[in-house]
Amino acid sequence: MLIGSSLKMYFGRARTVEWTRAVADICAAHPAVREGLVEPFVIPSFVSIAEVMPIARAAGMLVGAQDVHWAEPGPYTGEVSAAELAEHGVSLVEIGHAERRAHFGETDDTVARKTAAVVRHGLTPLLCIGETVESDPTRAAEVCTSQLESSLARVDGSLANRLVVAYEPVWAIGRSDPADDEHIRLVARAIKTALVATPFSAQVIYGGSARLGLLPRIGDAVDGVFLGRFAHDPLAFGGILDEALDMEEMR
């Protein structure tokens, strides 16, 4: 099971390090992590990756990047290549988040190019998909599986390894509550069905106002949760780990 958070642009350097140390201490001591039941992860800003890496790795946490450029190293001012991320030891690369699409004009094609680049360099895409308009689960699943297909269109299947799909209904991001439990279950299962036809070993996690109490209700349909501002309190992150451990003990 995967449990982690993207810090977006909320934290500066000092708070990023402070948060990572606090969460790393919790993870290092937590049975869910120590017993291999949960892979925790953190996705800091680009400029914090190098400093976060040794702290997180020592506690068994994966470190991700919030974006990537699709090209090989070259004249792309301000961008970061998959090759450089691999050199820094990054494991996950977040691609196609709704904010990237809304604020920076990312399209299905740019998402596909970035996904292909990440796979070429042996990294794991953390591919964000989700419907923009609240609708019934059947329609939402159609939108998500279409996004999934377009996002993987440029991938060299012979290089495919691990893939993480974050189902994040855009309309639920930033709300006080996540999407309805049954809605999440139905859409996540449809995504998993679509993933069977791909060459990846894939997991589906849920984001979009994920918080304490949600994982036990949807854990039969997802492989973890992608936390936002709820996880800014390290103790809240630890609470989700507790839930994952409780679920395993109840099986």
36: left (phi over 0), alpha (psi -120 to 50) or beta: left
Check residue 141 and give its pLDDT: 98
pLDDT tens per residue, range 111-130: 999 999 999 999 999 999 99
Average pLDDT over residues 147-159: 97
- Give the max Cα distance, the chain: 54
Task: Answer whether residue 85 shows pLDDT above 90.
Answer: yes
**Percentage of the chain with pLDDT > 70?**
100
Average pLDDT over residues 201-222: 96
Check residue 64 and give its pLDDT: 98
Name the phi and psi angles at 80, rounded to 5: -130, 130
- Arithmetic mean of pLDDT over the chain: 96
Average pLDDT over residues 55-65: 98
What CA–CA distance (Å, rounded) separates 210 from 28?
Answer: 23
Contacts of 228 (CB under 8 A, 6+ apart): 5, 6, 8, 173, 174, 207, 209, 210
Check residue 175 and give its pLDDT: 85
Average pLDDT over residues 152-180: 94
Average pLDDT over residues 74-88: 98
Structure letter (DSSP) for residue 81: B
Using DSSP's 3-state secondary structure scheme, residue 61 falls into: coil
Task: Answer whether residue 244 shows pLDDT above 90.
Answer: yes
Check residue 250 and give its pLDDT: 77
**Angle at the Cα of 207 from the Cα atoms of 205 and 213, rounded to 5 degrees:** 90
Check residue 196 and give its pLDDT: 97
Domain 2-250 annotated CATH 3.30.360.10? no
Check residue 135 and give its pLDDT: 93
Using DSSP's 3-state secondary structure scheme, residue 128 falls into: strand
pLDDT tens per residue, range 185-202: 999 999 999 999 999 999
Average pLDDT over residues 19-35: 98
H-assigned helices in the chain: 13-29, 31-34, 49-58, 82-87, 98-104, 108-120, 137-151, 181-195, 215-218, 234-250
User: What are the residue numbers of the active site?
Assistant: 97, 168
Q: How confident is the model at residue 176 (pLDDT cuts 50, 70, 90)?
A: confident
